[in-house]
Structure 1
Amino acid sequence: MSKANAHVVWHPTTVTKADRQRQNGHKSCILWFTGLSGAGKSTLANAVDQQLHERGLKSYVLDGDNIRHGLNRGLGFSTADRKENIRRIAEVAKLFVDAGVIVLTAFISPFREDRELARGLVEPDEFVEIYVKCPLEECERRDPKGLYRKARSGEIAEFTGITSPYEEPLSPELIVESGTQSVEESVQIVLRYLEERGIIPARR
């Protein structure tokens, strides 16, 4: 602990995470969507969020691009800034879990070490790593934001999959093949997992 934090003491809350989960009628967790740019992380996260919302469950999406407009504004795409980007969002996601909310994070998060840091902030059953797997060629073909084209032309340095590495998850809780599976199919895979693990009530 740094000297600046030496006198900072954790203050326990009166209302606990378990209290909030009971009130919400479901457990809370982090659904961590990782994958290449263009793989469909944000699309899938928002589609799952919509289904959770329609069931009356408490959920919220933290999207990589949106977060960089506020909380992580000023961070670049160097290795150090990427790590800080994920560290901050992992801490925010932990707060959502403490609040009894299912939080869906859609970030490339290319480095295993950083994803493991996020996993370590919550209980083992509260972190669900979802690898949105899509071939680089398909991501480039989609290129919804024109980023691959810019990376190939040298306009963007340190771009994941082109000039910066993406470390695939070794043992994610879920793998969604977004290159071959529809969004609807992928959503059902995620929802079934949540039901089977008792995180959300099963539909009757």
Structure 2
Amino acid sequence: MSRDTTAHIVWHPTTVTKKERQERTGHKSAILWFTGLSGAGKSTLANAVEYELHQRSLASYVLDGDNIRHGLNRGLGFGPDDRKENIRRIGEVAKLFVDAGVITLTAFISPYREDRELARSLVDEGEFIEVYVKCPLEECERRDVKGLYQKARSGEISKFTGISSPYEEPEVAELVIESNEHSIEESVRTVITYLEKRGIISISS
């Protein structure tokens, strides 16, 4: 029988604060949460945005869904409970990165609104930026860069988002990027401009 031991754990405050870490990096920290169907272009866009941030010498890091499942979340499946735990863990990790003063980009399908809102609740107001990478299912299937839709259609993969498992679109995302309508360069500019307007990063000269 598992027991809840949190009653015996006391939070130990750090000597260096988040604000002091942000002052060292020269910018604010936040989570850019890229969500959307498989094949929508989440990872591509997240990495392209990080490249631009890196070119500006800003502290940033991409947490990618597939990569995380090779380590931290290895062993989790794709049923509702495991998906929920997958997002809970990455939300907690992203929170630590924000506390460290890092602009954190996460690329996860994260199909359930409730789970995304849980991740949002972990950080201060304004530090969670939901980026809905919107793309029609037909286009995602046409791309099928990993061959997953074909396997889902044939029954080789069960509980596949968009085919045999639901995707709940964000109701009010901070940004909506229609990846089938805009180039990667245009999409990166949209995200960077948003960060500048929000005062998370400085406007490039």
Pair in the same fold by TM > 0.5 = yes
1:30-79 per-position Cα deviation (integer Å, ceiling 9, x unaligned): 00000000000000000000000000000000000000000000000011
- Go from structure 1 to structure 2 and tell me whether the alpha carbon gap of 1:133 and 1:3 turns closer, same or farther (over 3 Å shift): closer
For 1:129, the equivalent position in structure 2 comes to 130
The Cα of 1:195 is off from its aligned counterpart by 0.2
CA RMSD after TM alignment: 0.6
Residue in structure 2 matched with residue 102 of structure 1 by the alignment: 103
Aligned counterparts of 2:196 and 2:6: Cα–Cα separation in 1: 41
Unaligned runs of 5+ in 2: none
Q: Distance in 2 between matches of 1:72 and 1:83?
A: 11
Percent of paired sites with the same residue? 74
TM-score, length-scaled by structure 2: 0.98
Letter aligned with residue 204 of structure 2:
R
Equivalent position amino acid for 1:55 in 2: R
Amino acid at match of 2:156: E
Secondary structure of the residue aligned to 1:160 is coil
- Which residue of structure 2 aligns with residue 172 of structure 1? 173
Match of 2:200 in 1: 199
**In structure 1, C-alpha distance between the alignment counterparts of 2:180 and 2:160, rounded to whole Å:** 20
Structure 1 gap segments, 5+ residues each = none
* Partner Cα separation in structure 1 for residue 102 and residue 4 of structure 2: 33
CA distance in 2, matches of 1:179, 1:113: 26
Q: Which runs of 4+ in 1 moved over 2 A?
A: none
Question: Separation in 2 of the partners of 1:111 and 1:73?
Answer: 20
Verify: 1:111 aligned to 2:112, yes or no: yes
Once the two structures are superposed, residues 155-175 of structure 1 have per-residue CA deviations (whole angstroms, 9 ceiling, x without a partner) of 000000000000000000000
Distance, in Å, in 2 between the alignment partners of 1:111 and 1:185 is: 27
TM-score (norm 1): 0.99
For residue 65 of structure 1, what is the aligned residue in structure 2?
A: 66
1:170 is paired with a residue whose SS is coil
* Aligned residue-pair number: 203
CA shift for structure 1 position 6: 1.1
Q: Secondary structure at the match of 1:125?
A: coil
Aligned partner of 1:152 in structure 2 is 153
2:6 aligned residue: 5
User: 2: distance between equivalents of 1:123 and 1:185?
Assistant: 29
Q: What whole-Å deviation, never above 9, does each CA across 1:89-113 have from its counterpart, x for those lacking one?
A: 0000000000000000000000000
- Give the partner amino acid of 2:155: G
**Are 1:29 and 2:12 counterparts?**
no
Residue 123 of structure 1: SS of its match in structure 2?
A: coil
Amino acid at match of 2:43: S
Q: AA paired with 1:104?
A: L
Distance 2:120 2:51 in 1: 24
